[in-house]
Chain A
Amino acid sequence: SQTIHQWPATLVQPVGSPLSLECTVEGTSNPNLYWYRQAAGRGLQLLFYSVGIGQISSEVPQNLSASRPQDRQFILSSKKLLLSDSGFYLCAWRSGQGSSPLHFGNGTRLTVT
């Protein structure tokens, strides 16, 4: 079966510090990978998605970037965090076929102080 791992679960970082969140998927090959940010409540904002190694699509230009160095690895980064980067970050994958659903990781709660 497929599993998705996302870490760390929580992170407190000072303003201006760098960020690296990592996500890996097991049990599948060539998945579509996603980074979302969930605002307080329910709203999901799509940040980046990738359909293959080195292929990154950005939905919202902002202080973040993403990379996919390996087929099942997706990294969310920032060179200098802003207070507004605080939030709940979710990695997700799907098989890319038909109506296949998104499967989410357990998320990273980022607090920028």
Chain B
Amino acid sequence: KAGVTQTPRYLIKTRGQQVTLSCSPISGHRSVSWYQQTPGQGLQFLFEYFSETQRNKGNFPGRFSGRQFSNSRSEMNVSTLELGDSALYLCASSRDRGGQPQHFGDGTRLSIL
């Protein structure tokens, strides 16, 4: 059974640009959550999607948005990138809404120059 797949693995952008990250959950998993991981702050929850609807949201500005498609794949978008957005972005899936444990992908490492 394939795990959670995130693309791209690495991304370099400059300030002011926007970026879209993709996550394909484990087959049969309908909940997808996104996290930002930085050395200073650890893993911080961004949002959770279930059945194409955002169900839960963390404390991030509106520049961070996402969506989920009917096949449960999810995308996360960050607009007007700032230096502080440099981080590892992790996606996790679970079978049900808010289900535990979640299964994580390898992440997308985003660097802002």
Verify that A and B bind, or say they do not.
no
